[in-house]
Amino acid sequence: MSVSLAKLGIHPGDRVADVGCGTGKVAIALSEVAGTVYAIDRRPEAIAYAREEASRANRGNIEFFEGDAVDVLPGLGALDAAFVGGSRRLLEVLDLLAGQVQGRIVVNAVMVETLQSAIANMQRLGIFVEAVHLQVSRSAEIAGGLMFKPINPVYIIVGGAGCS
Protein backbone atom coordinates (compact mmCIF):
# COMPACT_ATOMS: atom_id res chain seq x y z
CA MET A 1 0.00 0.00 0.00
CA SER A 2 2.86 2.39 0.78
CA VAL A 3 4.22 2.17 -2.76
CA SER A 4 0.78 2.80 -4.26
CA LEU A 5 0.22 5.79 -1.99
CA ALA A 6 3.62 7.21 -2.88
CA LYS A 7 2.88 6.80 -6.60
CA LEU A 8 -0.37 8.77 -6.14
CA GLY A 9 1.54 11.79 -4.84
CA ILE A 10 -1.31 13.15 -2.73
CA HIS A 11 -1.07 16.76 -1.52
CA PRO A 12 -2.95 18.44 1.35
CA GLY A 13 -6.45 19.38 0.27
CA ASP A 14 -6.58 16.99 -2.73
CA ARG A 15 -9.84 15.38 -3.82
CA VAL A 16 -9.19 11.66 -4.26
CA ALA A 17 -11.31 8.65 -5.26
CA ASP A 18 -10.77 5.14 -3.88
CA VAL A 19 -12.52 2.86 -6.37
CA GLY A 20 -13.28 -0.57 -4.92
CA CYS A 21 -12.49 0.60 -1.38
CA GLY A 22 -13.04 -2.79 0.26
CA THR A 23 -12.05 -2.60 3.93
CA GLY A 24 -11.30 1.12 3.72
CA LYS A 25 -7.59 0.84 4.58
CA VAL A 26 -6.48 2.79 1.51
CA ALA A 27 -9.20 5.44 1.95
CA ILE A 28 -8.19 5.91 5.58
CA ALA A 29 -4.51 6.24 4.63
CA LEU A 30 -5.40 8.71 1.86
CA SER A 31 -7.51 10.76 4.27
CA GLU A 32 -4.44 11.54 6.39
CA VAL A 33 -3.30 13.99 3.69
CA ALA A 34 -6.16 14.50 1.22
CA GLY A 35 -8.88 17.05 1.83
CA THR A 36 -11.67 14.69 0.72
CA VAL A 37 -11.65 10.99 -0.11
CA TYR A 38 -14.53 9.43 -2.04
CA ALA A 39 -14.65 5.72 -1.13
CA ILE A 40 -16.67 3.67 -3.63
CA ASP A 41 -17.63 0.00 -3.49
CA ARG A 42 -20.52 -1.93 -4.97
CA ARG A 43 -20.72 -4.29 -1.97
CA PRO A 44 -22.87 -3.04 0.93
CA GLU A 45 -20.87 -5.10 3.44
CA ALA A 46 -17.62 -3.50 2.26
CA ILE A 47 -19.04 0.01 2.63
CA ALA A 48 -20.42 -0.80 6.09
CA TYR A 49 -17.07 -2.20 7.24
CA ALA A 50 -15.05 0.66 5.70
CA ARG A 51 -17.37 3.25 7.24
CA GLU A 52 -16.92 1.62 10.66
CA GLU A 53 -13.11 1.55 10.27
CA ALA A 54 -13.07 5.22 9.23
CA SER A 55 -15.16 6.10 12.26
CA ARG A 56 -12.76 4.18 14.53
CA ALA A 57 -9.84 6.06 12.93
CA ASN A 58 -11.72 9.34 13.47
CA ARG A 59 -11.63 10.22 9.75
CA GLY A 60 -14.44 12.62 8.93
CA ASN A 61 -13.17 13.56 5.47
CA ILE A 62 -14.18 10.30 3.75
CA GLU A 63 -17.47 10.17 1.84
CA PHE A 64 -18.80 6.68 1.14
CA PHE A 65 -20.71 5.60 -1.97
CA GLU A 66 -22.33 2.21 -2.31
CA GLY A 67 -22.70 1.45 -6.01
CA ASP A 68 -20.96 0.87 -9.28
CA ALA A 69 -18.04 3.25 -9.81
CA VAL A 70 -19.15 3.87 -13.41
CA ASP A 71 -22.37 5.37 -12.02
CA VAL A 72 -20.78 7.22 -9.07
CA LEU A 73 -17.65 8.78 -10.61
CA PRO A 74 -19.37 11.23 -13.00
CA GLY A 75 -21.11 12.93 -10.07
CA LEU A 76 -17.84 13.63 -8.23
CA GLY A 77 -16.47 16.23 -10.65
CA ALA A 78 -12.75 16.91 -11.07
CA LEU A 79 -10.37 14.82 -8.97
CA ASP A 80 -6.72 15.26 -8.13
CA ALA A 81 -5.95 11.54 -7.97
CA ALA A 82 -7.61 8.13 -7.97
CA PHE A 83 -6.74 4.71 -6.61
CA VAL A 84 -8.38 1.67 -8.22
CA GLY A 85 -8.31 -1.46 -6.08
CA GLY A 86 -10.95 -3.42 -7.98
CA SER A 87 -11.01 -4.57 -11.59
CA ARG A 88 -14.75 -4.66 -12.25
CA ARG A 89 -15.52 -2.62 -15.40
CA LEU A 90 -11.90 -1.42 -15.43
CA LEU A 91 -12.01 -0.19 -19.03
CA GLU A 92 -15.00 2.06 -18.31
CA VAL A 93 -13.56 3.22 -14.99
CA LEU A 94 -10.27 4.21 -16.64
CA ASP A 95 -12.12 5.99 -19.44
CA LEU A 96 -13.95 8.10 -16.84
CA LEU A 97 -10.90 8.73 -14.67
CA ALA A 98 -8.75 9.77 -17.64
CA GLY A 99 -11.08 12.72 -18.21
CA GLN A 100 -11.65 13.47 -14.54
CA VAL A 101 -8.28 13.12 -12.78
CA GLN A 102 -5.80 15.96 -13.02
CA GLY A 103 -2.95 14.03 -11.35
CA ARG A 104 -2.15 10.36 -10.95
CA ILE A 105 -4.26 7.23 -11.33
CA VAL A 106 -2.94 4.10 -9.63
CA VAL A 107 -4.39 0.64 -10.26
CA ASN A 108 -3.45 -2.29 -8.04
CA ALA A 109 -3.84 -5.73 -9.60
CA VAL A 110 -3.19 -9.28 -8.48
CA MET A 111 -4.21 -10.97 -11.73
CA VAL A 112 -2.02 -10.83 -14.83
CA GLU A 113 -5.13 -10.21 -16.94
CA THR A 114 -5.94 -7.10 -14.94
CA LEU A 115 -2.33 -5.95 -15.28
CA GLN A 116 -2.49 -6.37 -19.06
CA SER A 117 -5.88 -4.67 -19.33
CA ALA A 118 -4.84 -1.70 -17.18
CA ILE A 119 -1.63 -1.14 -19.16
CA ALA A 120 -3.32 -1.54 -22.55
CA ASN A 121 -6.14 0.84 -21.66
CA MET A 122 -3.87 3.44 -20.10
CA GLN A 123 -1.70 3.31 -23.24
CA ARG A 124 -4.81 3.69 -25.40
CA LEU A 125 -5.80 6.74 -23.34
CA GLY A 126 -2.26 8.18 -23.53
CA ILE A 127 -1.85 8.23 -19.74
CA PHE A 128 0.40 5.21 -19.04
CA VAL A 129 3.46 6.04 -16.90
CA GLU A 130 4.78 2.73 -15.54
CA ALA A 131 4.01 -0.67 -14.07
CA VAL A 132 5.69 -1.98 -10.93
CA HIS A 133 5.78 -5.62 -9.83
CA LEU A 134 6.07 -5.86 -6.06
CA GLN A 135 6.86 -9.18 -4.35
CA VAL A 136 7.47 -9.64 -0.64
CA SER A 137 8.45 -12.80 1.22
CA ARG A 138 8.40 -13.60 4.94
CA SER A 139 10.68 -15.91 6.84
CA ALA A 140 9.25 -19.23 8.01
CA GLU A 141 10.78 -22.14 9.88
CA ILE A 142 11.53 -25.29 7.91
CA ALA A 143 13.57 -28.37 8.93
CA GLY A 144 15.34 -26.50 11.73
CA GLY A 145 16.22 -23.60 9.45
CA LEU A 146 14.59 -20.66 7.77
CA MET A 147 13.09 -20.22 4.34
CA PHE A 148 11.23 -17.38 2.72
CA LYS A 149 7.56 -17.90 1.86
CA PRO A 150 6.31 -15.56 -0.85
CA ILE A 151 3.30 -13.40 -0.23
CA ASN A 152 1.06 -12.89 -3.25
CA PRO A 153 2.63 -10.35 -5.61
CA VAL A 154 0.88 -7.14 -6.58
CA TYR A 155 1.16 -5.14 -9.78
CA ILE A 156 0.97 -1.37 -9.47
CA ILE A 157 0.01 0.37 -12.70
CA VAL A 158 0.48 4.14 -12.78
CA GLY A 159 -1.12 6.61 -15.15
CA GLY A 160 -1.62 10.31 -15.17
CA ALA A 161 -2.79 13.38 -16.99
CA GLY A 162 -0.41 14.76 -19.57
CA CYS A 163 1.54 11.48 -19.75
CA SER A 164 2.17 9.37 -22.81
The pLDDT assigned to 164 comes to: 45
Task: Kindly tell me if the per-residue pLDDT of 15 is higher than 60.
Answer: yes
Number of domains, the chain: 1
Task: Kindly tell me if the per-residue pLDDT of 163 is higher than 70.
Answer: no
Amino acid symbol at 18: D
Phi, then psi, of 12 in degrees rounded to 5: -55, 135
For residue 137, how many other CB atoms are within 10 A of its CB?
Answer: 10
Strand partners, 134: 154
For residue 40, how many other CB atoms are within 10 A of its CB?
Answer: 30
Q: What is the mean pLDDT of the chain?
A: 95
Q: List the CATH number of the domain containing 96.
A: 3.40.50.150
Q: CA 32 to CA 43: how far, in whole Å?
A: 24
Q: CA 40 to CA 60: how far, in whole Å?
A: 16
Kindly state the average pLDDT of the residues 64-82: 97
Which tens digits make up the pLDDT trace of 76-127?
Answer: 999 999 999 977 899 999 999 999 999 999 999 999 999 999 999 999 999 9
Q: Are 83 and 17 in contact (CB under 8 A)?
A: yes
Task: Kindly tell me if the per-residue pLDDT of 162 is higher than 80.
Answer: no
Q: Are 158 and 7 in contact (CB under 8 A)?
A: yes
Beta strand pairing status for 62-66 and 36-41? parallel
Biggest CA–CA distance in the chain, Å, is: 58
Prediction pTM value: 0.92
